[in-house]
Amino acid sequence: MLGLTAFYHAITERSGGMEQGIGVDGRAMVTLQANRSGHYVAEGEINGQPVVFLLDTGATDVAISDKTARALGLEFGPRITVMTAAGPAVAWRTRLDRVSLGSLALSDVRATITPGLGREALLGMSFLKYFNLRQEGDRLVLQGGSQKG
């Protein structure tokens, strides 16, 4: 029983939950519940493969670890330097064919491959900027917004 309790705690700490629906204006809508740490963590997909996203409005791009990039068969593009909370880091540019969070999805999304990044992929502004975001207490509502052009 102790093992099951620890497993349940790990899941609830990691992900706060996600609801999907359609807004009154007919646009797709996803509502995320903050986890116990106050972060918005949710399951999504990159190129049809499941990933766990940590929503990060402070991240310019979607960011994934080099391990995840290799598992997805991504091309390591030009080498760049990115600023992280821990200071400058080496990263590589790449493009993601498709990124989805519930019913919200985009094609051809700019991303960075950042060695040493944790298990979660950062769902940054290269995805989020195309949606309307609204915080309601410990819930974050994302709704279909401007079209990617």
Q: How many angstroms separate the CA atoms of 128 and 6, rounded?
A: 32
Residue 129 has pLDDT above 60, yes or no: yes
User: Which tokens hold the place of 98?
Assistant: 């498709």
For the entire predicted model, the pTM comes to 0.83
Q: How confident is the model at residue 14 (pLDDT cuts 50, 70, 90)?
A: low
Q: Coil, strand, or helix at residue 73?
A: coil
Reply yes or no on whether the pLDDT at 10 is more than 60.
Answer: no
Q: Is 11 left (phi over 0), alpha (psi -120 to 50) or beta?
A: alpha
Half-sphere exposure of 78 (CA within 13 A, CB side): 4
Read off the pLDDT of each residue in 107-128 and give the average, rounded to a whole number. Answer: 94
What count of residues does the chain have?
A: 149
Quick one: average pLDDT of 44-73? 96
Assigned CATH for 2-144 = 2.40.70.10
For residues 8-12, give the mean pLDDT. 39
* pLDDT of 4 above 90: no
pLDDT at 130 over 70: yes
Q: Which tops the pLDDT comparison, 85 or 129?
A: 129
pLDDT on residue 2 = 39
